[in-house]
Structure 1
């Protein structure tokens, strides 16, 4: 088996920087024993490897993630990445433009719920229930 401890440590640091130590700890704990291997893969390869590449800035990478999660109707993950986008310096106007692209290319329903989430995260609308 390949030693991924360095990747894992880098990824964990990046996740904590983007989402906060408390939120990352909660997500990892919620995964339980069954989900721990997946969390390890996320830390090592998603955040320790792919997010560490130099081809895209953190802002652009966050905007891409918002487009992907909105287009694939993953509102829970969209909310997580919207918080990360805010931490990475993305603006509400940038996120709005991403969601307009999602609406045009993937259909308006794909952008409706995520637009509400983005407004909440970026402080432009009260959270619902």
Structure 2
């Protein structure tokens, strides 16, 4: 039996997908914002055919870079690296490319996030 089996089907699928996308354990939450996030965004939108997870991740990284979403980039970049959707070389290339469109200060923030994620991923597990 899975840890989300006692939840409604949509919530279970959403939480499982959130764990897959983010790369860390999730717990059920409360309130409308969490409901829309788990039940709609992850159980529905992230499950739609037509785009791969890598495609979605690239789009999201670009959008977050342009809008100054460093907090969410701090989740998405390490998750993309851990999932094997993007490697260190590709992430570094994304930084160079996006810096020219999102602005150098945003690029510097993205670069810090990427380099921290790469360093963290290359450390041996404790």
Do they superpose with TM above 0.5? Answer: yes
Instruction: Name stretches of at least 5 consecutive residues in structure 2 with no aligned partner.
Output: 1-7, 122-126
Equivalent positions of 1:1-129 (< 5 A) are: 5-18=8-21, 19-21=23-25, 24-25=26-27, 36-89=31-84, 90-123=86-119
Offset of residue 100 of structure 1 = 2.1
Cα distance in 2 for partners of 1:20, 1:124 equals 15
Distance 1:108 1:124, change over 3 A: farther
- Which one scores higher on RCO, CA 8 angstroms, separation ≥ 6? 1
Distance 1:111 1:63, change over 3 A: same
Distance 1:106 1:39, change over 3 A: same
Offset of residue 88 of structure 1 = 2.6
Instruction: Name stretches of at least 5 consecutive residues in structure 1 with no aligned partner.
Output: none
Offset of residue 124 of structure 1 = 7.0
Greater CA drift, 75-84 or 93-102? 93-102
Q: Which runs of 4+ in 1 moved over 4 A?
A: none
Cα distance in 2 for partners of 1:69, 1:114 equals 10
* SS in structure 1 at match of 2:56: helix
Offset of residue 45 of structure 1 = 1.7
